Structure formats: structure tokens, C-alpha cells
Structure 1
Amino acid sequence: MSTAGQVPGRRKLRLGAVAAAVTTVLTLLCCIGGAGAFFLTELGGDGQDRLTASLACDPAYQVDITGDMPRFAEYGDAQLRNAAVIVKVGQDMGLPARGWVIALATAMQESALRNLANSTVPASLALPHEGVGSDHDSLGLFQQRPGWGSVQQRMTPSYAARKFYEKLLLVKNWQQRPLTVVAQRVQVSAFPDAYAKHEDLAGRIVDALAGGAARTVEIAGKAVCDAAAGARIAASGWTAPIPGGVGSGFRTAERPSHNGVDIAADKETPIHAASAGRVLVARCDPDHSQRRDCDRDGWPGKGGCGWFVDILHAGGYITRYCHMVRRPLVVPGQSVEAGQEIGRSGSSGNSSGPHLHFEVHVDADRSSRGAINPVPFMRDRGAPLDGDT
């Protein structure tokens, strides 16, 4: 269990679809992560309360573009109706839900989901619009330039969405690559990193509009709920880091300083990045005596996280992976894709047996203050940790 501190996170997420606790008690594994705490500010959250995620996951649900829209503090009814059009076009084209999340996040950055005109549009056209942009001759939800179509076409949300999806499909391995990379390949923006900050909210809006679709993964051409693990990535962009079931839980009465969960795994089991991001830390965590001797199995009371990795993801989330068997396969500053192997499970550090200690932090805060319960967080992203899928 991690003993970086016992102070709860400064802001708790409102996460829906919280599963019942796992009833099978696995072999108790003791682990203590002693990773030093420091604060990051880049890719921070949007500062708004998190809204409850969709309680159901129905891959066949068709979005309704004419009915009542869900409520999100960040956007009004007209903007969410534009979002519904984007999702509906993706459904009509038969694209996996991951494409809807990418398209929505892109439009959120380009236009804040408003159908924008510009000063070059002749007043005689009297096109319906929801604001005037200032980016050259770009128009519409995706700020598309003349090569994408006529003025009337680019100002038609369904047309603009279809053109975005058509170009998206030309991007190799677009479902596995980071959202910001894929969006940039389509848009060729002057600010290529700006799309990432919208990914989490885009997934929640897709969930609200389309029956929990951000929690689906494509398996044999069919959308399956809550089955993202290993090489399978949910539409939300997340995957379970390792197969298995949760043993020692998050901040239990017996272990109030356990800032993550322990997932049972044999030694040498591949550990996957839970989502695309950038490696912050990949090193040996010292024990209580400040020795860095992670190249052997640890023991209870030794102290330290062993070989471990921290990854920063879009939205200011950080994931931590402890007790690896040897030096990680990644290095600080490296960009990783969702599902990429970052190391192998082991028992280095303060550990009584092979397993993965997994943490999730918010607000780009690596300290115990930022830690939240990974179980509901991952379940809400279609990548449950309980080994049911």
C-alpha cells in the first residue's frame, strides 16, 4: 500500500456507475509506495465539478438530435445539440465510438461547439450561425477552410462532421493513437497540443448522448461494453493496465494510507499504459534506508514502490504503476500510447508477492492529496479492474 500520505484529494470526482465491491477476497498483498510528491500544472483539469457518468452502456443506442439535451455546465443547449449532430453522423457512418470522442474534442477546441461564421461571409447569404470567428477563412464547427467545401457546406454541421470523419479514416491506426495526434493529422492546427484537454469531457458528453458509448470497445467488429484491457482500448481512450482482480483496496479501514489498489498478477505479466500520455517518472523508489536496490524481490516493511512509472494523461490525470520486476521499458519524457507495454509485474519494493499496485491521481498532483479510488474511475471509462471481462 502507498504511504505517501493520508490527506484526501482536494477535489473528488463525481463518478457514476460505481460497481458493487468485489466479493471474492484475493490473497492479501502488502505494498507501500514512497514516491516523492511534487506538483504539476500542465494539462490541468477544467475546474468544473465532474458530472455523473451514464449508468447504462448500450452500444445500440442511437443519439436523438431533436429531443432534450443533457446538462453540462460548460455548454448550452445549442452547443450540445451540435455535439449530438457530430455523434449522430458518426453513428450513421458506422464509425466506432472512439471516432465520436475524437471528433467532439476537436470541435470543442476549434469552435467551442458553435457553428461559427466569419467576416468574409457575404451578408447576402444569411447563413444561420452562432458566432463570428476570427481565424482567416475558416468556418463552422471544425473551422474548415475552403478546400473542405463551399461556404454553405462548411456551415452545415452534418456536412462538416462527415468531412472530418472521412479524413479521420485516412489516419493510420487512429483508434490506438493519442487523440491529440489524430486530431492534428486531420486539422493541421497551429496549436496541435490543445485538443488533449477536451478528451475527458468529450467522453462524458458522448456517454450522456449515446448510452454510455465512451465505455465501449470494438471486438470482432462489434461494440462491447466495459471490456477494455490489454490491447483493447475503450472509446474513452482507456484500458485496464493488467488482467486480474483487485485484492487490497483503496484506503480501506485497515489500510487508510493505501492510495491505490493491488491487482494480482504473476511475475513477468505485461503492464500496459492505461491511456495515452507522457512519462513523468520511471525509476527505482528507495526504501526506508534510502537504498535503491529494486533488482530483487522486496518484503513487507521494506518500504518503497520498487521499480515504478508515473504517466501524465489528458485532463491532468496521472497513473502510477509500482513493484515492477526490473527497470521499466519507458523513460521520463517519452510519449506512450494507450495499451503500450511499459514494464513487467514483479515484487520489488515493499511487497509480499508479485502484483501491480495501481494508482490514479487528479489535478496533475502526484502526491497523496491527488489520489482517488481507481476502481470507479476505470469502470466509468469502460476499463474495469475487477477482472470480469
Structure 2
Amino acid sequence: MSTPAGIVSGRRKLRLGVLTAAVTTVLTLLCCVGGAGAFLLTELGGDEKGKLTAALACDPAYQVDLTREMPRFSEYGDGQLRNAAIIIKVGQDLNLPARGWVIALATAMQESALRNLANSTVPASLALPHEGVGSDHDSLGLFQQRPGWGSVQQRMTPSYAARKFYEKMLEVPNWQQRPLTVVAQRVQRSAFPDAYAKHEDLAGRIVNALAGGAARTVEIADKAVCDAAAGARIAASGWTAPIAGGVGSGFRTNERPGHNGVDIAAAKETPIHAAAAGRVLVARCDPDHSGRRDCNRDGWSGKGGCGWFVDILHAGGYITRYCHMVRRPHVVPGQSVEAGQEIGLAGSSGDSSGPHLHFEVHVDADRSPRGAINPVPFMRERGAPLGGTT
């Protein structure tokens, strides 16, 4: 499978998107090692530690401990992470699925940077403990709640503020299936409704670090199950496997060093699902080596091109690519899609010797080969391992 024609290189950054080969080998054997495993890597920096924690532990029964030493993330300090722990703990006390914790956490990250903010209208006589002064004159606390949400003292109490957020979140129809930014906006009514999405990935990693890998869980028959997000099942992280089937040809193997994704076996006409909520960037027939757009028939090895393919941009600058569809995709450029939404059907168009899905993940919003990372560990860390079943 060749890279789609006309792709322009994006910015190159130092990336820590994948684990080293040696660590990956070990992690393959350690899918779910229990809650204690989530806190074995306390000396690592924030981003590295968050990713490794997600890969090492998945314990749906793990309960947040508000008294323990907080893990370290470069983006937030100890006090902010303790506020994050309170938000998660309230969600656990309410018996809410972990997807709700991720939504609440990302919302508070946007509203207050996880700080319990006062404002200039709070009477000095109240002497309320706070961690800064917000810019909105009548909004308070972790979620910047206005007077209708409760008294000053209540809104400045993190557990109260989190509970009120969850109560409003539960009133949003189908909140577990809808994009995070849609749910958060229905609760908050923000002037910047798209801003919540940028926090989703980090919110998931913090939930993993504080709650035993909970962002990797999916609700099945009202029970949290690790690493089972596929098809209509969406992990708490917001991700799902795009298709069921075993992974065949791998990422940049010795035999195929230019293979920038993985091939997942699938029969013709098998539905392909968006791996996460996002916006469609590309949905078209990719030219073959001769420059022809010839996708309405089966291709062959060496023909060139992705055939009918789709690129989707997700929160955090991630891009997913889906190649070799049997016919024109179900989506169009600019369209917003939800996680798990059917975007096309598996086929064998383009540079393909048989029906399958070629699946790629790119970082830094870079559609070129420079942006490609191995999708196998990436999806496993989000509770949506490739090669699972629906």
C-alpha cells in the first residue's frame, strides 16, 4: 500500500507517541496487572509516565486514593492533580462509567486548569481557600460555575462542583456515545465550545494514572471491561477499534519499511467505524502509480494508492487513515463524525491483493509518512486494541 498522493508534510516535533521496542515487548505480556501496577513508574516525567501507566494497568475496580502521592505530569502540579482525583472520586461514588470522568476532567481542565478559582466578588469575610482568581466576574471553582449552580461556598467546594457537573451531564441524551466537546458544551454553555476537545487525550491519561487504567474500559452489560472497545463500543478514552479482525502486515516491517500502518483482515463489505470523534479531512479515490483514479474495482499488489480512503482529524492533533474501501466512503470532507460511526465498507481497491483495512495513526496533524506512528500500541493504550472482536 502506497502513501496517498499529494500529501504535504506537516511540522516535525519531538514525539513520544510510541514505546521503545523492548518496552513494547514486555507490555504485550502485561495487559492487565491490577491497580498497583499503575503506580510503579513514579520517577518518570508526565507524558512518558502517563503513557506507560496506561499500558501497564487496567483494573476497573480500582478506587482513587485521595491521600496518596500524586503521579507527575508536566502539565499540572500536585494540587491540580488532587483536584483531578476528587473529580474522579465523585464519579466513582456516583457509580458513573469512566467515560464520564474523562468528560468532567477535560471540562475542568479547560475551565480552570484544575484550580479551585475564586473571583473578585467573593467577600473577604468568607476567607474561602482558593488557588487563584478567575477572569469571569461571577464564576467560581473548578468548573467556573455561576450563581445558579449553588452558593459561593458550595461552588468553591470541589466535590460539590463535580457532583453538580455530573448531574447535568446525565441529562444529556446519549452522553456516552457523543463527542466530549458536545457533552461538555451542553452542560457548560461556553463561549468557546470547541475548546474542550483539546484536553481529551491528556484527561484520559490522567484518569489512567489515577484510576487504574480506567480510560481503557468500556461498559458491557453495565460492567466495566478492559480493552474491549470495538464497533459500537467506545472506551472511556473516546476510542474504538475501527474493525474486527487480526492484524496481518505490521507497521514498517523489515520486509515493508514504507508500510506506515497495519493491515487488518476483513471480508468485503465489512463496516468500518471511525476510531474516535473528529472531522473528515479527506474522502476520495487515491490515484494509482499511473495517476489514474480507478477505485471502483479490486486492485492488485503493486498498483499503488490507497484506493477509496478516508482521513479523520481527532482531538490532540491525531489523524486516522482508512484505506482500500470497496466503494465511495459514506462521509465527505468537512463532516463531523462520532466515535464508532460507520464511514465506509472494507474492500480491496488500490494497492491491495485482497480485502482488508489498511489503518494508520498520525500525530501532530501531520498526514505525511513523518507523522505516522505504530497504531498497535497507540490503540491498545486507549482500550481499543486492534485484532479484537465486536
TM-score w.r.t. the length of structure 1 is 0.90
1:284–1:307 contact (8 Å) kept in structure 2: yes
2:69 alignment partner in structure 1: 68
Correspondences of 1:153-302 after superposition (within 5 Å): 153-302=154-303
SS across alignment from 2:260: coil
Q: Does 1:142 align with 2:143?
A: yes
Distance 1:155 1:334 in 2: 39
Q: Does 1:326 align with 2:318?
A: no
Distance 2:12 2:192 in 1: 31
1:52 alignment partner in structure 2: 51
1:9–1:372 contact (8 Å) kept in structure 2: no
Equivalent of residue 14 in structure 2, options 1, 11, 14: 11
1:311 alignment partner in structure 2: 312
Distance 2:157 2:299 in 1: 61
Query: Partner letter of residue 191 of structure 1?
Result: F
Correspondences of 1:93-108 after superposition (within 5 Å): 93-108=94-109
SS across alignment from 2:284: strand
Distance 1:220 1:3 in 2: 41
2:18–2:373 contact (8 Å) kept in structure 1: no
SS across alignment from 1:52: helix
Distance 2:324 2:298 in 1: 9
1:12–1:372 contact (8 Å) kept in structure 2: no
Q: Displacement, 1:21?
A: 9.8
SS across alignment from 2:132: coil
Q: Displacement, 1:115?
A: 0.1
1:380 alignment partner in structure 2: 381
Structure 2 unaligned spans of 5+ = 30-45
1:247–1:263 contact (8 Å) kept in structure 2: yes
Instruction: State percent identity of aligned pairs.
Output: 85
Structure 1 unaligned spans of 5+ = 24-47
Q: Displacement, 1:134?
A: 1.2
Deviates more, 1:12-21 or 1:190-199: 12-21
CA deviation vs aligned residue, 1:315-373 (integer Å, no higher than 9, x gap) = 00000000000000000000000000000000000000000000000000000000000
SS across alignment from 2:52: coil
Bigger helix share: 2
- Which has the higher relative contact order, 1 or 2, with Cα contacts under 8 A spaced 6 or more apart? 1
Matched positions, count? 364
1:43 alignment partner in structure 2: none
Instruction: Specify whether residues 254 and 3 from structure 1 end up closer, same or farther in structure 2 by C-alpha distance, changes over 3 A only.
Output: farther
SS across alignment from 1:293: coil
SS across alignment from 2:183: helix
Distance 2:177 2:336 in 1: 13
Distance 1:207 1:22 in 2: 17
1:351 alignment partner in structure 2: 352
1:53–1:204 contact (8 Å) kept in structure 2: no
Query: Partner letter of residue 345 of structure 2?
Result: R
Q: Displacement, 1:56?
A: 1.0
Query: Partner letter of residue 370 of structure 1?
Result: G
TM-score w.r.t. the length of structure 2 is 0.90
